[in-house]
């Protein structure tokens, strides 16, 4: 687990011990999975392979204390990768004590929350650090040490976050794929704050529904950026990249309107740090055709546009891009669904495509597939380092 302080580990084990005291309702659930990721092209760097097998396990333990307002949730995760040592890792996705009293709910420990409405990128989602060695889509997150308060009002909710511990982003190792020419040295990260990973981050979010159809969220974050600047370090025997984590202030807005078959989605941020400030937006729609060919399946068509005020200098592929995609839900007994989409760079002409597939097999098994293709990536595009990293991935999971 990445730089999770001994103090937070002590809190976690204290909560676990507390779970054994008194009568309670407890339950386990989770899954164990086999994953095979195959890269269609040879890697750009000599240490890289084409086939990356791995196994993972994730469980959730939920414990509700009898005759009380308290509950405990523990979600450990572990992956073993046969090739990339950096991808072999473990984490607590959650390890939190939950209290619900009247208009308030509180969580203390390691939490996981999600903000955002758009499909192709979640601009406003900033509480949890990205577990980038799991996947490049940004969906996998590390548990965040926090005190989290949720206050229910007639018009919506108020969320408060105090975050005394920081989690560093994970990166592939020398043998890993989906990386640049220099592997990231995660053991030598630096920070703008003198408190480093112990800096106290704070966040606030207001969320509510307007006129029944519009869901609106307004957020503020102040603290250590979850997105590090990667700095070339020439001081050693060989060049390396080291992460630098600046302090930032960020205002975020997310809006979703549900209007018949339409879902209109929008996210925007304004971020300031010591040497820069910028704005970024993503917005678009999903239109769903229900009962395709008078059957049970539904087809959703997605279109989203990305803009970043930093232009071509932005450290992201979303500076002036269009996402086009489709979601097909068969609505069958196996919960089969497909998601396919492409990202098109308006300035450079680069294109990348992604397909995802999910299907249950019986009561306890699930088959998941992914394919990622990088097509005609321009040499000025930040994705140019991934031009040989087209891959197909299959995962078979057993749920319990």
Q: What is the pLDDT of residues 271-330, one digit of tens each?
A: 999 988 999 999 999 999 999 988 999 999 999 999 999 998 888 999 999 999 999 999
Half-sphere exposure of 110 (CA within 13 A, CB side): 29
State residue 15's pLDDT score. 54
State residue 1's pLDDT score. 43
State residue 293's pLDDT score. 81
State residue 2's pLDDT score. 46
6-399 CATH: 2.40.160.100
User: Which whole-number Å values give the CA distances from 47 to 84, 120, 141, 280, 329, in the listed order?
Assistant: 10, 31, 27, 36, 40
State residue 11's pLDDT score. 54
Secondary structure tally for the chain: helices H, strands E: 1, 21
Q: What are the residues facing 307 on neighbouring strands? A: 281, 320
112-164 confidence digits (pLDDT tens): 999 999 999 999 999 999 999 999 999 999 999 999 999 999 999 999 999 99
Question: Please, what sign has the CA dihedral across residues 89, 336, 325, 41?
Answer: positive
| DSSP H/E element including 10 | helix 6-18
Between 200 and 24, where is the model more confident?
200
pLDDT band at 395 (very low <50, low <70, confident <90, very high): very high
Asked whether 296 and 332 are in contact (CB, 8 A), the reply is yes
pLDDT band at 238 (very low <50, low <70, confident <90, very high): confident
Asked whether 193 and 199 are in contact (CB, 8 A), the reply is yes
Asked whether 130 and 137 are in contact (CB, 8 A), the reply is no
Judged by phi (left if over 0) then psi (alpha if -120 to 50, else beta), residue 363 lies in alpha
Q: What is the pTM of this model?
A: 0.91
7-31 confidence digits (pLDDT tens): 455 455 555 555 554 455 789 999 9
Domain boundaries, the chain: 6-399
State residue 4's pLDDT score. 55
């Amino acid at each position: 687990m990445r730089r999770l302080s001994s103090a937070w580990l002590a809190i976690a084990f204290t909560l676990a011990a507390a779970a054994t005291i008194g009568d309670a309702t407890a339950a386990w659930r989770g899954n164990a999975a086999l994953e095979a990721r195959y890269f269609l092209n040879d890697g750009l760097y000599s240490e890289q392979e084409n086939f990356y097998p791995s196994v993972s396990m994730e469980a959730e333990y939920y414990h509700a204390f009898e005759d009380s307002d308290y509950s405990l949730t523990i979600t450990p995760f572990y992956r073993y990768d046969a090739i990339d040592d950096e991808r072999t890792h473990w984490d607590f996705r959650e390890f939190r004590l939950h209290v619900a009293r009247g208009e308030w709910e509180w969580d203390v420990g390691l939490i996981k929350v999600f903000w955002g409405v758009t499909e192709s990128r979640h601009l406003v989602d900033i509480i949890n650090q990205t577990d980038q060695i799991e996947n490049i889509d940004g969906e996998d997150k590390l548990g965040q040490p926090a005190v989290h308060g949720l206050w229910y009002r007639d018009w919506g909710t108020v969320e408060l976050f105090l975050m005394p511990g920081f989690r560093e982003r994970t990166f592939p190792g020398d043998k890993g794929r989906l990386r640049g020419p220099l592997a990231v040295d995660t053991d030598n990260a630096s920070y703008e704050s003198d408190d480093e990973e112990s800096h106290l981050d704070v966040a606030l979010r207001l969320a509510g529904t307007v006129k029944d159809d519009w869901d609106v969220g307004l957020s503020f974050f102040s603290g250590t950026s979850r997105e590090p600047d990667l700095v070339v370090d020439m001081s050693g025997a060989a060049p390396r990249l080291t992460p630098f984590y600046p302090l930032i202030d960020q205002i975020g807005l997310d809006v979703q309107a549900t209007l018949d078959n339409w879902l209109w989605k929008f996210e925007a941020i304004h971020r300031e740090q010591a040497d820069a400030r910028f704005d970024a937006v993503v917005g678009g729609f999903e239109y769903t055709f229900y009962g395709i060919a008078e059957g049970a399946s539904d087809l959703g068509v997605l279109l989203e546009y990305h803009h970043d005020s930093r232009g071509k200098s932005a450290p992201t592929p979303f500076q002036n891009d269009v996402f086009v995609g489709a979601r097909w839900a068969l609505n069958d007994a196996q919960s089969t669904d497909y998601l396919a989409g492409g990202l098109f760079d308006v300035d450079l002409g680069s294109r990348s495509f992604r397909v995802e597939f999910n299907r249950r097999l019986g009561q306890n098994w699930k088959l998941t597939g992914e394919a990622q293709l990088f097509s005609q990536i321009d040499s000025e595009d930040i994705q140019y380092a991934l031009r040989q990293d087209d891959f197909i991935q299959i995962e078979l999971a057993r749920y319990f």
